[in-house]
């Protein structure tokens, strides 16, 4: 007899298991088991893995998995050597992702633009330090990466009146923003902006792109906002650039190791704001229908929604 009550193995260091469980109950009823990792007593009994990234010991012991559902639009975090062979992997796409990303970018940009990061310090130090505020059009923002998310952020900032510049690997034309491409275009863009936002995908070419080589072209006292991946940034180079005043401050939503280890020099650094990977999340309420549908399809042995083609890599 074919078993139809799915056993879902859930693992994420970023998402909240209880919230996801509740969102899946709304779709599937109580008709599933929900095992929250990393630890699992009976990995061989699990039907579907729902996770942001692989658990520390990988998934090779989960030998009867029918599907793995990523709690993310990206799949960089899945190392195939640590997954059972032949199990289909699906990424999750959520319409509200761009809305989250745009809101996060605005929060970080306005905070620097209107100097709230300085007033936070001044408030603690009992210091009334008047500074003439700038109009939005007097602040130039650069965006690395002009895919769906980078374009959404560019549009939102243009609407708010900021001067917006954008860089992509290959040439792109966009209305209202100045675009750049290639290696020469990269240093040109960086020298033209007060605030730089990274929204690139992580590839062999973009790994470590946020480095001293790039910072050297920054306007003195510029700001960095990393919303891409932790490995885009050479961490030691950022500390050096802030120490030299090349960069005044940075907002980092992504780290090479997440959660950021408690002894990491970024913690407590006056020029660095850490946010716990909250810029672009999959919203349980809106993404659960898609995850639940993939659980149903996996149990029926059907192809998944947004299933990854490993040959193409997406």
Minimum Å gap between C-beta 19 and a second copy is 6
Binding mask 139-168 toward a second copy (x if CB under 8 A, else -) reads --------------------xxx-------
Q: Give the interface size with a second copy as a residue count (CB under 8 A).
A: 54
User: What's the CA gap between 101 and 257, in Å, rounded?
Assistant: 21
Given 122, 202, 305, 308, the residue binding a second copy (CB under 8 A): 122
| Contact stretch for a second copy (CB under 8 A) within 25-33, 116-124, 218-226, 237-245 | 116-124
Minimum Å gap between C-beta 304 and a second copy is 25
| Contact stretch for a second copy (CB under 8 A) within 24-32, 70-78, 119-127, 197-205 | 119-127
Q: Is 100 a catalytic residue?
A: no
Closer Cβ to a second copy, 15 or 231, answer by number: 15
Closer Cβ to a second copy, 100 or 296, answer by number: 100
For residue 100, state whether it binds a second copy (rule: CB under 8 A): yes
Closer Cβ to a second copy, 86 or 270, answer by number: 270
Given 2, 30, 85, 133, the residue binding a second copy (CB under 8 A): 133
Closer Cβ to a second copy, 120 or 205, answer by number: 120
Task: Record the tokens describing residue 100, joined without a space.
Answer: 């989250």
Three-point CA angle 139, 109, 114, nearest 5°: 65
Residues 216 and 240 sit within 8 Å (Cβ to Cβ): no
* Orientation angle between helical segments 116-124 and 96-113, nearest 10 degrees: 60
In the region spanning residues 223 to 282, those forming contacts with a second copy, defined by CB under 8 A, are 258-260, 262, 264, 267-269, 272-278, 281
Interface residue list for a second copy (CB under 8 A): 14-16, 19, 96, 99-100, 103-104, 106-108, 110-111, 113-116, 119-120, 122-126, 128-133, 135-136, 159-161, 258-260, 262, 264, 267-269, 272-278, 281, 283-284
Q: Which residues are catalytic?
A: 229, 277
């Amino acid at each position: 007899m074919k078993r139809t009550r799915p056993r879902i193995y859930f693992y994420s260091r970023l998402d909240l298991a209880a919230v996801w469980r509740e969102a899946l109950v709304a779709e599937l009823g109580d008709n599933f088991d929900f095992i929250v990792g990393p630890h699992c007593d009976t990995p061989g009994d699990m039907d579907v893995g729902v996770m942001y990234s692989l658990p520390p010991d990988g998934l090779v012991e989960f030998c009867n998995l029918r599907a793995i559902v990523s709690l993310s639009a990206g799949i960089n975090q899945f190392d195939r050597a640590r997954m059972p062979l032949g199990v289909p992997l699906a990424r999750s796409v959520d319409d509200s992702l761009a809305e989250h990303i745009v809101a996060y970018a605005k929060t970080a940009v306005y905070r620097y633009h209107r100097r709230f990061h300085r007033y936070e310090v001044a408030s603690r130090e009992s210091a009334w330090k008047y500074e003439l505020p700038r109009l939005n059009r007097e602040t130039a923002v650069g965006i690395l990466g002009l895919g769906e998310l980078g374009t959404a952020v560019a549009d939102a900032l243009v609407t708010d009146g900021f001067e917006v510049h954008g860089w992509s690997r290959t040439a792109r034309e966009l209305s209202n923003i100045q675009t750049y491409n290639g290696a020469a275009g990269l240093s040109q863009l960086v020298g033209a902006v007060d605030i730089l936002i990274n929204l690139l995908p992580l590839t062999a070419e973009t790994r470590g792109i946020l480095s001293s080589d790039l910072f050297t072209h920054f306007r003195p006292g510029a700001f960095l906002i990393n919303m891409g991946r932790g490995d885009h940034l050479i961490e030691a180079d950022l500390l050096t650039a802030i120490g030299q005043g090349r960069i005044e401050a940075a907002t980092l939503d992504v780290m090479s190791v997440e959660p950021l280890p408690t002894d990491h020099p970024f913690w407590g650094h006056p020029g660095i704001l850490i946010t716990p990977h909250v810029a672009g999340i999959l919203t349980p309420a809106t993404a659960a229908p898609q995850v639940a549908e993939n659980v149903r399809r996996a149990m029926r042995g059907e192809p998944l929604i947004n299933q990854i083609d490993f040959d193409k890599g997406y």
